[in-house]
Amino acid sequence: MQLVLITGMSGSGKSVALHALEDAGFYCVDNLPPELLEPFIEVEQAHRAERVAVAMDVRSAQSLPGLPQRLRQIQSRGQPLTAVFLDTTTDTLVRRFSETRRLHPLSLKDSQDQRRALVDAIEQERELLSELRDQALVLDTSHLKASHLRSEIKQLLSRAPATLTLVFESFAFKRGIPMDADFVFDVRMLPNPHYEPDLRLLTGQDAPVARFLAAEAEVQAMEAQITEFLQRWLPRMVADHRSYATVAIGCTGGQHRSVYLVERLAATFGQDWPVQRRHRELDALRFNG
């Protein structure tokens, strides 16, 4: 049985993710109390269910502290489990709650029914979910439209990882560092195709840009050093029972240098590891029209 746990910050898009899984043929349950997870799995295994997704979040705050240990026990018994944690910047969450006028689950303080400051509630939620976040694949939804998030969820779960899966992601520093990054490499000091008139409107996926960057010794050195670093430390992440590692490569606009290096690194490591590519800025343009 393929089992997926969707969790994360309130307002980060868990409902959208769960609907995407439902559309993909998963049997989905929202807000399942953590203490019912193992009995639920036993029932679904008895029914020979093939694809099951469960959403849990801070609405079950009193039961959350024991959830990471439950997940480890479930995996130790041989049940494949993919945990996906949706994260979002605090500024984005404040804007989303303000726009929808919905109440944050932790906004009520004690029994006085007083509204806690929204930012304080969000930070308390981050603390409650921190251990769970460390065990999961983290997906930053700060810049994702609903259609883009649905696509990302389907791509991430298209195959269950047999070992560590590498996610290479390009991004623009001017739009912030991805919250889901395990490693961040800054390549803004490399030669920039943006200043070449014939290359400005192209991307790092286009052959002329790739030829331009491949001819630069500094680009070759950066690629070699990132490769060497990852080859040194990825086995330790496997030993630490990590299922995913996100490697974020950032340049100024997220169009040329970072995209090129993501494509190069994904091709190199794809020979030995399961690999996924993301291009945050290019994908945003594609999904936002």
The closest of 8, 141, 149, 2 to 67, measured between CA atoms, is 8
Q: Quick one: pLDDT at residue 11?
A: 92
| Alpha-carbon distances, residue 251 vs 43, 185, 212, 268, 280 (angstroms) | 49, 9, 16, 20, 12
Low-confidence ranges of the chain (pLDDT < 50): 111, 113-115
CA distances 226 to 77, 117, 252, Å, are 36, 42, 18
* Token output for 197: 């008139």
Per-residue confidence (pLDDT) for residue 111, from 0 to 100: 41
Smallest CA-to-CA distance from 11 within 108, 87, 120, 65 is with 87
In CATH, which superfamily holds the domain spanning 2-156? Answer: P-loop containing nucleotide triphosphate hydrolases (3.40.50.300)
CA 92 to chain centre: 16
Domain coordinates of the chain in residue numbers?
2-156, 165-288
The pLDDT tens digits for 220-269 are 999 999 999 999 999 888 887 777 899 999 999 999 999 999 999 999 99
